[in-house]
Each structure stands twice: as C-alpha cells, then as structure tokens.
C-alpha cells in the first residue's frame, strides 16, 4: 500500500496559473514521517506547517524569528527527502485551460490537475514495478473539489483506469489531520513560486527549492504551447492504441495513454 497526498496553490482569481502537487509515501514511511514531523512542529510551537506563512513569518509563525522560520522549513524539507518516495508537481496556465479537451470528465482546471496527479502516481508505479494499491488524499477546501470528486468517481468506476492508477480509495483531508498533506503544501507552494519567478523572467531557482528537488519530482507545467504539443502526442497515441489494442471506451483510452 502507498499513500499519495496532494495540495493546491494559486486558487485566487489574480493568479495566472493553478498548481496541484504532493508526494507518494509507503504506508510505513508515512507513519514514520508523521512522528518526526509532529516532533518538529512541537519544537517550533506550530499547530501545523504552512509554507506561505512560513516564508513571510506571519500567522502561526509570527512568534518565530526569521532564522527560526528558515530552520523550520529546512527541517521540513529534509524530512520529506528522507521519507517520501517521489514528488509530483503539476501546474496549468489558467488562460490555456480552454484548449484542453474535457471529454466530459475533467471539467475544471482543478479537476484536470487532480487527474494529472493520478497519472503521476501511475508513472511512478510503472517505473518501480509497484503492484500494490494506492490511496489518494487531497487537501480539503479546494473550490472545485465537488467537480473533481465527480470526475474521480466517473473515471474509477471503470476497471482499466482503476487498475492502471492502482486505485484503492480517495478522500479529501484537512491539513491538521495528516502531516503528509503539509508536505504537499510545501511542494505546491514551491512549485507555484518557481513558476511565478519564471514568469517574471527570473532564471535562478531559490536555494530551498533546489534542496527540495533533491528528491526526484515528476514536474509538468501546461501553458498553451505545452498543451498543443500534448494534444499532438495524444492524437498519435490514441490512433495507435485504437488500431493495435482494440480499446473501446474513452476512459480506457484516456487511461492507456502515457502522459507526456
């Protein structure tokens, strides 16, 4: 059994893009992380870890000095690198979302990115030859969670994608309920911030982001050009699959195509 935890960033109307990111943990490592993470929170007198507040020393971090905030974030990154199996970070230029074919499934930017998170877990499972089950957890409170949940239910009702994604169960979960969601918060904030810096023309990555990706992540950013390339790839792959494998339903086809 593995557990995959995800959080989102960039949900505000003023944000040019949306991000969903998180980590895959073995069940044993998720339990070990939880113990060490809560110890770290206790030492810094924090109820939970929230990177946007940590980065600016506000909210639950206002009692800490600038250096203590840096130290807390550094410890959090090291714990993630010790216990997580892989990170997944996907972002979408909101202006490019209309170019994505919905197929009656991923009918909002957030639900589309949740779908891509499933592909990230599948890619890791295929590469590592993981044959067990995966439980998926998404941080509660996302604006389009209801739509995303409907999409997940629809996709996982069919056998092929259910097996492909090693799907066992899914749920939304609060940040304080599971410490691995707080790890997802950290990666989501960093991936969002990294893409925002690129948009501003800043080519040098933050030192803490460079440390964070010392653990391998599966990163994807979908702008209009990336979506155009992706659609060409999907068209070729779909025609080949339909010709060779006799794939019948659109969901089976969607599941069988390897995400670029």
pLDDT category, 232, cuts 50, 70, 90? confident
Q: Which residues are CB-contacts of 121 (< 8 A; sequence separation ≥ 6)?
A: 2, 4, 24, 88, 134, 136, 165, 166
Residue 247 has a pLDDT of 46
Percent of the chain with pLDDT over 90: 70
Q: What is the pLDDT of residue 246?
A: 53
The residue whose two tokens read 């969901």 is 251
CATH topology of domain 2-34+77-203+211-256: Nucleotidyltransferase; domain 5 (3.30.420)
* pLDDT score at 169: 95
Q: pLDDT band for position 248 (50/70/90)?
A: very low
**E strand map for 52-204:** 86-93, 134-139, 167-173
Q: What's the pLDDT band for 251 if we cut at 50, 70, 90?
A: very low
Gap between the Cα atoms of 171 and 152, Å rounded: 10
List, in order, residues 6 or more apart from 47 with CB less than 8 Å away: 41, 60, 176
Q: Is 119 helix (H, G, I), strand (E, B) or coil?
A: helix
């Amino acid at each position: 059994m593995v557990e995959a935890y995800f959080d989102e960033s960039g949900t505000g109307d003023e944000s040019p893009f949306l991000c969903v990111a998180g980590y895959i943990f073995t069940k044993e490592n998720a339990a070990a992380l939880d113990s060490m993470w809560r110890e770290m929170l206790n030492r810094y007198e924090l109820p939970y870890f929230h990177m946007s507040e940590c980065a600016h020393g506000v909210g639950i971090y206002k009692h800490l000095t600038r250096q203590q905030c840096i130290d807390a974030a550094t410890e959090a990154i090291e714990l993630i690198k010790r216990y997580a199996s892989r990170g997944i970070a996907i972002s979408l230029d909101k202006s490019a979302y209309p170019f994505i074919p919905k197929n009656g499934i991923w009918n909002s930017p957030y639900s589309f990115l949740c779908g891509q998170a499933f592909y990230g877990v599948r890619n890791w499972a295929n590469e590592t030859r993981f044959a067990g089950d995966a439980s998926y957890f998404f941080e509660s409170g996302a604006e389009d969670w209801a739509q995303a949940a409907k999409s997940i239910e629809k996709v996982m009702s069919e056998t092929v994608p259910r097996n492909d994604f090693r799907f066992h169960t899914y749920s939304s979960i609060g940040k304080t309920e599971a410490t691995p969601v707080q790890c997802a918060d950290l990666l989501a904030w960093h991936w969002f911030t990294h893409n925002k810096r690129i948009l501003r023309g800043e080519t040098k990555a933050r030192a803490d982001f460079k440390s964070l990706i010392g653990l391998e992540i599966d990163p994807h950013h979908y702008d209009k050009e990336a979506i155009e390339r992706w659609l060409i790839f999907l068209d070729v792959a779909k025609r080949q699959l339909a010709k060779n494998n006799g794939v019948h339903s659109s969901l089976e086809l969607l599941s069988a195509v390897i995400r670029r």
